[in-house]
Structure 1
Amino acid sequence: MLREVLFPVLLCLLAYIGFDILQGQRDTAREERDAAQSEVTGLREAARISGEMLAARDDIDRTRTQELNHARTEIDTLRLDVADGRQRLRFKATCSVTTPDNTGAGGVADAGTAELAADARSDYFTLRDQLALSKQMILGLQDYVHQVCLR
């Protein structure tokens, strides 16, 4: 009779322990699933933000490149105009005339407008091109900092 009572009790105890183990595994699996879903949500948000930042960077680059190309076109047009004689490179200058005895009235034989020498013109255009490039690079970096980095 002890066998008849002990066997069902043991069977119930084993079933209880088995269900308890299964319930623990189920709870662990749920926690892992929730953590994975949270990680997926975070990764999706990071990917969205990265995409927006890349789009902003590309927009800044496109805008600054267009402005640089426009400035370079203007410089090239000016270079061609100067080379063809349609325009002249003038700069503001004053010429002081000194005479050896400082008694006579001063005068300049060629009192034309001051102009760059021919060999200095290429340097002038190179400097203008570098200035336009530097300006767009600086403005682009400032835009990147304000629109992307400080966001």
Structure 2
Amino acid sequence: MNRLLLSLVAGLAIATGLLWWQYSQNTEKLGELTKGLEQSQARVESLRNTLRLQRQLYSEVGRIDQNHTEGQADAQEQNESLRVDVDAGAKRLRVSAVCPAGVPTTASTARSTDESAAELDPAARSTYHALRRQLTDTELALAGLQDYVRTVCLAMPGDQ
């Protein structure tokens, strides 16, 4: 009976030791999993913030694009209106000009066109309008890029 009781106590001690060891292992694993979960949750929150910021920036880019596209359309409409008015004679393109040295300063009385203001040659008008359109496009594109840099690029955290 003593042997049986001793064997039973030894078996219970071994079983208790094994259970304690198993509990310790599980507690350790639980701690590692909890730490991993916290890291994953922090990463998810970081990704949510990044996505929120990215959506805001895309919205801002869309607003900038819309504003500058409308401005460009208005400028092109004004340039086209000016071209039509000049071609129809409703408006004139005047050139600020001075006669080069060596040209007589006395006007000939035989030619009345010398008294009028300098004006672009009709063949040069199309070139003028093309240059005006290119200048307007360039100015608007530059303004759009500057607006983009100010509101989007400089607003991005971590890139300074």
Residues in 1 aligned to 2:151 and 2:9: alpha-carbon distance in whole angstroms: 78
Indicate yes or no: 2:26 matched with 1:22: yes
List aligned pairs for 1:1-150, cutoff 5 A. Answer: 1=3, 2-95=6-99, 98-99=103-104, 106-108=106-108, 109=111, 110=113, 111-150=115-154
Give the aligned length.
146
108-117 vs 50-59, greater mean Cα deviation: 108-117
Alpha-carbon RMSD across the aligned residues, in angstroms, is 1.4
Any idea what SS the aligned residue of 2:152 has?
helix
Deviations 1:37-62 (A, max 9, x none): 10100000000111111111111111
Q: Percent identity?
A: 29
Please give the TM-score of this superposition, normalised by the length of structure 2: 0.86
Any idea what SS the aligned residue of 1:123 has?
helix
Residues in 1 aligned to 2:15 and 2:58: alpha-carbon distance in whole angstroms: 63
Please give the TM-score of this superposition, normalised by the length of structure 1: 0.91
Residues in 1 aligned to 2:44 and 2:31: alpha-carbon distance in whole angstroms: 20
Residues in 1 aligned to 2:20 and 2:64: alpha-carbon distance in whole angstroms: 66
Deviations 1:48-90 (A, max 9, x none): 1111111111111111111111111000001111111111111
Which of structure 1's runs of 4+ aligned residues deviate more than 6 A?
A: none
Task: Specify the code of the residue in structure 1 equivalent to 2:153.
Answer: C
Deviations 1:115-148 (A, max 9, x none): 1011110010001110111001111111111111
Residues in 1 aligned to 2:103 and 2:9: alpha-carbon distance in whole angstroms: 133
Any idea what SS the aligned residue of 1:150 has?
helix
